[in-house]
Amino acid sequence: MLLFGVSALIYGGNALSPILSNAGNGLTLVGIAGLVVFYFRLPMLYQVVAAVLMLGLIGLVLESRHEYGEFVYSYFVIKRFAYCGLALLAYVAATQAGVLKVQYAVYVIFAFYVINQLLLGQIFTYGLTSETRSVTSNDALFLIIPFLYYLTTYLKGHRIMDLLLTLFTFAFIVFLLHRSVISAAIVVVAVVGGLSVMGKLSGNKLPLGRTVVTLGVLLVMTAPLAGLLPENKINGFVESLGGILDPKEDNTGSWRLEQSEHYLSLIPDRPVLGWRYEGYDRGEVMVNEDFPDKGTIIHSQYIDMLYNYGAAGLALNLLLILGTLTVMYRRNRVFTTEQTVLFGFIVSGLAYAISYQLPIYYWGFVGVGMYYGLQRPDYSASIRYPLPTKPNPLPQSVAVENHLNS
């Protein structure tokens, strides 16, 4: 539920499914209760976040009671603030579930894409335009996980098949035409490159010659296929991709820019705690068919948090994300495949949040990232890599103790 059950991917791609909405509402309520129930199972950073988050939720309830005469005037306002708390619940769930390989997540993601796009025929309605896309941006963001997985395994093992799968996944991301996800994918390539330069990835350096030759062969083989598509389709697709660099000249990009400028102009009036219920009452300044009643559906996560919950709300989100990344980076001299993928995926959310609100499941992966970040290093590889200078607080096996003594 934390990682997939709050995504349209498993509901036939129907982002407006009432089951999906109820799943998000119910899971968020469980997450709020978990702040209290599992408080002492959390690491210190998450305990700080849990305490601040609970105080904020109590404040929203008391404000609702004082201003509107009821304790929950708008669950929408409360749950939007509490979404990040699902990272804490995911951490606790991960400690009970134990180690799971990210490869399993890759299988799940591709399985649902096959079901939705091929078996349900959604891909056949796609006309290579922004208006006909068959996948929501939130679902497309899932593809960052297999992309990172295959990229990481290629850097470690140098298998051509892993390179081909990496290129296929990236090409699929581009094909789906969600520019925010494309930008996030480019960012994670830089992140993985940076981790490699910093010595965080095991294995040898990128086999540049093999990579260039493979790319050249693929380019020669696929170039003729582009000529089979109608020229107007290709031109429209390329023009849509151009909106990444120049959103003012793009239909959807200019709309978001106009929306962002409007809400940014209101943020200075209430910079610390935001507009909260008053912002909800104002409703969306532009027509939004997905939310016809009222409520503010702002595209950017950063602007949404600043407008609705002020600098305090945004700071709480960033503390959770950046704190998790810091723990993962500082406590692990060399990243495992799981840690690399989770680290990159969490960073990708920071880029994705510029244009879209972070999906609920993103916070689940943040919590799992903290769990993997705090995992005991695997000393079975200590012959190849130097041991950490700080002693591991967890109990060691007899074999590890003998190795350390030697």
Confidence band for 35, pLDDT divided at 50, 70 and 90:
very high
Domain membership of residue 370 (yes or no) is yes
Domain membership of residue 384 (yes or no) is no
**What is the mean pLDDT of the segment spanning 214-235?**
67
Domain membership of residue 380 (yes or no) is no
For position 254, what pLDDT does the model report? 67
Domain membership of residue 106 (yes or no) is yes
88-97, 221-230, 354-363: least confident range? 221-230
Domain carrying residue 23: 8-375
Rounded to 10 degrees, the C-alpha dihedral 357/362/367/370 comes to -90
**What is the mean pLDDT of the segment spanning 239-257?**
61
Domain membership of residue 144 (yes or no) is yes
pLDDT digits (tens, 9 = 90+) for 165-175: 999 999 999 98
Domain membership of residue 188 (yes or no) is yes
Residue 294 has pLDDT above 70, yes or no: no
Domain membership of residue 261 (yes or no) is yes
Give the number of domains in the chain.
1
Residue 65 has pLDDT above 70, yes or no: yes
Contact criterion met (CB below 8 Å) for 149 and 106: yes
For position 253, what pLDDT does the model report? 55
Q: Return the higher-pLDDT residue of 65 and 257.
A: 65
**What is the mean pLDDT of the segment spanning 296-319?**
92
pLDDT digits (tens, 9 = 90+) for 113-133: 999 999 988 888 887 777 788
Contact criterion met (CB below 8 Å) for 137 and 178: yes
Domain membership of residue 392 (yes or no) is no
Tokens found for residue 386: 């130097």
pLDDT digits (tens, 9 = 90+) for 131-169: 788 899 999 999 999 999 999 999 888 889 999 999 999
